[in-house]
């Protein structure tokens, strides 16, 4: 198939594009900078530019949509322009091009409204109650995508949960960086169970969703993806830090105090952005959403996902941490 992958300059997008190339597909990637993926045709552009999005869709048979604004803070209209309106433009471009399969890469946060998720399936995306502009706009985008499912245009939404691996700068890189300078803390007692997904397994699941998009029990539905190996948040943070050569975090902040601090930091960052201060363009050290994610349990029942997509994770978490450690041993600039 001729497959368009958006957001291939990111960890998961690049891994997915490479997996599709390895499967023999003809892959075009679309993102704001070169993807760095061998064997693809790179098209550079922005998801908020409908004309560029439509041009990227020309001649494709299928679309895998990973591009998104994923920052912890920022004006909601910026998230909406990329995550919601970008999805609308991509759906329109895909249908105009005659594509028959479309995979919307979403997030479990679209159905997380604050309480713990223990052995849950993929609940309905809730744009009204999801926490934060990223989750709200991703929820709206998922609903728009699934509503486009129709005969001849099969849509599947997948929600990879906390993707990580070698070269990851969004999660592992931040944990390691903060742990090295003693700024990484554990929210609460660190015993909340959390699912994560090793990047190769997440990419394989996305490819499986594309393969099975036209199956009767797959299209029009959302599926959470994880490695199905819940660990405590304290253990996960410790192993990520140690894999990067940093000490495991030992400082703890009570959950309520972390949430209050997150709200305060968000207010300060809004002021910094409004004043044009350079720090306002950087990621804040803590937000209320981050405090909530690190302080509550969220792990998912994978039986339906694995049955329908005919997929199962292959990389044990401990093996994943060994691979991260090997990557740092080779690439760490210190």
Token representation of residue 182: 């003693």
What is the value of pTM for the model shown?
0.89
- 4-24 as b/e, with b when 16 or more CB fall inside 10 Å? bbbbbbbbbbbbbbbbbbeee
Nearest alpha-carbon partner for 148 in 89, 91, 83: 91
- As given in the structure block, the two tokens for residue 293 are 């994610």
Phi, psi of 164 (to 5 degrees): -150, 170
Could you give the CA distance from residue 289 to residue 293 in angstroms, rounded to a whole number?
6
Which residue carries 């223990």 as its tokens? 118
For residue range 301-332, list pLDDT tens digits in order: 899 999 999 999 999 999 999 999 999 998 87
Label residue 290 by pLDDT band (50, 70, 90).
low
DSSP, residue by residue, 63-83:
EEE------SSS-HHHHIIII
Q: Write the DSSP string, 269-307.
A: HHHHHHTT-GGGGSPPS--HHHHHHHHS-EEE--HHHHH
79, 102, 134, 198: the catalytic one is 134
145, 210, 299 from 259: Cα distances, Å: 32, 38, 21
DSSP 108: G
Query: In the CATH scheme, what architecture does the domain 2-161+197-226+299-315 have?
Result: 3-Layer(aba) Sandwich (3.40)
Q: What is the mean pLDDT of residues 65-86?
A: 86
Could you tell me the sign of the dihedral formed by the alpha carbons of 310, 314, 316, 321, in that order? negative
| CA 254 – CA 243 distance, rounded (Å) | 26
Indicate the average pLDDT of the chain: 87
Residue 328 annotated in active site: no
pLDDT in tens, 237-273: 999 999 999 998 887 777 676 667 666 766 665 666 6
Tell me which of 23-37, 187-201, 287-301, 302-316 is least confident.
287-301
């Amino acid at each position: 198939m001729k497959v368009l992958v958006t957001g291939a300059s990111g960890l998961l997008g690049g891994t997915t594009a490479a997996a599709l190339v390895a499967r023999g597909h003809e892959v075009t990637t679309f993102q704001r900078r070169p993807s760095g993926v061998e064997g693809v045709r790179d098209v550079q552009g922005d998801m908020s530019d409908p004309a560029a999005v439509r041009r990227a869709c020309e001649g494709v048979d299928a679309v895998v949509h990973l591009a998104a604004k994923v920052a912890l803070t920022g004006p909601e209209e910026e998230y909406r322009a990329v995550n919601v309106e970008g999805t609308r433009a991509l759906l329109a471009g895909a249908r105009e091009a005659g594509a028959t399969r479309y995979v919307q890469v979403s997030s479990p946060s679209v159905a997380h409204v604050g309480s713990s998720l223990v052995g849950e399936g993929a609940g309905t995306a809730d744009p009204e109650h999801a926490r934060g502009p990223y989750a709200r706009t991703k929820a709206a985008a998922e609903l728009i995508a699934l509503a486009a499912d129709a005969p001849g245009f099969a849509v599947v939404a997948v929600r990879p949960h906390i993707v990580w691996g070698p070269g990851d700068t969004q999660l592992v890189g931040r944990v390691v960086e903060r742990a090295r300078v003693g700024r990484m803390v554990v929210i609460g007692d660190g015993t909340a169970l959390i699912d994560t997904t090793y990047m190769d397994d997440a990419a394989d699941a996305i490819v499986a969703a594309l393969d099975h998009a036209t199956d009767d029990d797959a299209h029009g539905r959302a599926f959470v993806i994880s490695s199905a190996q819940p660990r405590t948040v304290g253990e996960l943070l410790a192993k990520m830090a140690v894999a990067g050569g940093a000490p495991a975090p030992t400082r703890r902040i009570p959950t309520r105090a972390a949430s209050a601090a997150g709200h305060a930091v968000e207010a300060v960052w809004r002021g910094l952005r409004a004043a044009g201060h350079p720090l306002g363009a950087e990621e804040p050290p803590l937000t209320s959403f981050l405090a909530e994610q690190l302080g509550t349990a969220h792990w998912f029942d994978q039986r339906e996902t694995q049955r329908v997509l005919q997929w199962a994770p292959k990389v044990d978490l401990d093996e994943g941490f060994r691979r991260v450690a090997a990557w740092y041993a080779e690439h760490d600039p210190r």
